[in-house]
């Protein structure tokens, strides 16, 4: 029988090279496309609202000549400044994965306390709402972070509590406290620099500080880590409970400050303000690209979201034939579109 040599063991085929790029390049191109897709998705999530805002402003300027006037811009921005201050605190809360439903009532309470304390001077008028409203925020943070209660339930309870305290101070709304005319506190709300009111400058300064806090400090990075995963943040040794308490305290402080600024501007503590403001703040934050599940968001996006809501309200006023209720319809539509877009972008980022 003739011996035959064993058949040679088949070796692994050499990697194919494409004629144009050579081995490994297609994978590199795919990775580059994947990275580009993620970057585009992240950019749209963070700054897509700015594109919408600029588009609305440009179109409205052509349709309504009075829209792009300096006086109208001043009116829009001063109205937006109070909601912006409230939404700033809401942004940090939502990034941690929480929610603060009490800010509307705390805003109104802060205004009443500021007007009541203004008879004793500038500092009492400013510090009283900050102390009381900050304490409400601290209570929210303690119950959420230390007692482990759901943020929705806790802040809903303090919403009712702050509104009840407001009614008790004002005798069920029968008493309206007035800010003394020509006082330093009234000047804080009614004064201006180059035609732009002090509340606008205060809001811009706070947003600048908030942006630095989130992006340039370890506390800001901890906020994002807590929102991404509280369990992972705890395993990393991060102060999860303390961070949550601080962001809720900041939310209460900022809502109280916004109420005080509004009282200074109106020269009185109006008791009916702030109803539904928490929903406007949440809408502005989410429209600005902050995820409701936490872990991602930006201060600048919230600012654009606030301005977009105020521009929509101003356009409704420009039309004249529509009442302010349509703002809620349009805002709700924007919110649905943004949430759907966020889900789509997040899914695209996971699959790229």
- Among 54-63, 179-188, 337-346, whose mean pLDDT is lowest? 337-346
pLDDT band (50, 70, 90) for residue 17? very low
- pLDDT above 60 (res 24): no
Residue 85: pLDDT over 70: yes
- Look at 73-82, 97-106, 335-344 and tell me which has the smallest mean pLDDT: 335-344
pLDDT above 60 (res 4): no
Per-residue pLDDT, 11: 44
Q: What is the mean pLDDT of the chain?
A: 82
**Which whole number is the average pLDDT over 262-286?**
87
- Rounded mean pLDDT, 214-223: 90
Is the pLDDT score of 135 beyond 90? yes
Q: Choose the most confident range, by mean pLDDT, from 31-35, 52-56, 307-311.
A: 307-311
Q: What is the pLDDT of residue 323?
A: 64
Of 109, 257, 82, 273, the residue nearest 185 (C-alpha): 257
Residue 216 pLDDT more than 80? yes
Q: Which residues contact 294 (CB under 8 A, 6 or more apart)?
A: 94, 95, 96, 97, 98, 226, 227, 228
User: Quick one: pLDDT at residue 19?
Assistant: 47
The C-alpha atoms of residue 320 and residue 315 are separated, in whole angstroms, by: 9
Q: In the prediction, which pLDDT does 327 show?
A: 65
Residue-level pLDDT at 5: 41
Cα–chain center distance at 121: 32
Tell me which of 334 and 267 has the higher pLDDT: 267
E strand or H helix that includes residue 340? helix 325-351
Partners of 193 in beta bridges: 196
Q: What is the Cα–Cα distance from 331 to 350, expressed in whole angstroms?
A: 28
pLDDT of 338 reads: 67
Q: Average pLDDT of 287-300? A: 84
pTM over 0.85: no
pLDDT attached to residue 191: 84
Q: Is the pLDDT of residue 220 over 60?
A: yes
Contact 247, 98 (CB under 8 A): yes
258 Cβ neighbours under 8 A, 6+ residues apart: 82, 83, 85, 86, 107, 110
């Amino acid at each position: 029988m003739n011996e035959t040599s064993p058949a040679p063991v088949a070796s692994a085929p050499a990697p194919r090279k494409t004629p144009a790029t050579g081995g490994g390049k297609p994978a590199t191109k795919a990775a580059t496309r994947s990275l580009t897709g993620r970057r585009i998705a992240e950019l749209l999530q963070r700054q897509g609202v700015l594109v919408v805002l600029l588009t609305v402003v440009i179109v409205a300027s052509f349709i309504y000549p009075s829209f792009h006037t300096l006086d109208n811009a001043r009116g829009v921005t001063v109205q937006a400044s109070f909601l912006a201050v409230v939404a700033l605190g809401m942004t940090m809360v939502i990034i941690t994965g929480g929610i603060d439903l009490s800010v509307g009532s705390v805003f109104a309470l802060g205004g009443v306390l500021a007007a009541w304390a203004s008879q004793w001077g500038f500092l009492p008028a400013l510090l009283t709402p900050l102390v009381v409203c900050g304490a409400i925020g601290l209570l929210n943070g303690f119950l959420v972070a230390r007692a482990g209660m759901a943020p929705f339930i806790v802040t809903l309870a303090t919403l009712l509590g702050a509104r009840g305290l407001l009614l008790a101070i004002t005798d069920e709304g029968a008493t309206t406290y007035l800010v003394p005319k020509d006082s330093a506190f009234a000047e804080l709300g009614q004064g201006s620099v180059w035609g732009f009111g002090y509340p606008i400058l205060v809001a811009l300064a706070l947003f600048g500080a908030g942006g630095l806090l989130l992006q340039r400090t370890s506390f800001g990075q901890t906020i994002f880590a807590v929102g991404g995963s509280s369990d992972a943040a705890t395993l990393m040794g991060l102060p999860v409970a303390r961070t949550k308490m601080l962001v809720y305290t900041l939310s209460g402080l900022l809502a109280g400050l916004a109420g005080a600024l509004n009282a200074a501007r109106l020269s009185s503590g109006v008791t009916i303000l702030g109803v539904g403001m928490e929903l406007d703040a949440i809408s502005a934050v989410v429209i600005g690209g902050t995820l409701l599940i936490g872990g991602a968001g930006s201060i600048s996006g919230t600012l654009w979201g606030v301005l977009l809501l105020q521009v929509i309200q101003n356009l409704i006023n420009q039309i004249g034939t529509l009442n302010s209720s349509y703002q809620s319809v349009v805002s709700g539509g924007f919110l649905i579109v943004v949430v759907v877009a966020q889900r789509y972008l997040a899914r695209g980022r996971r699959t790229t």
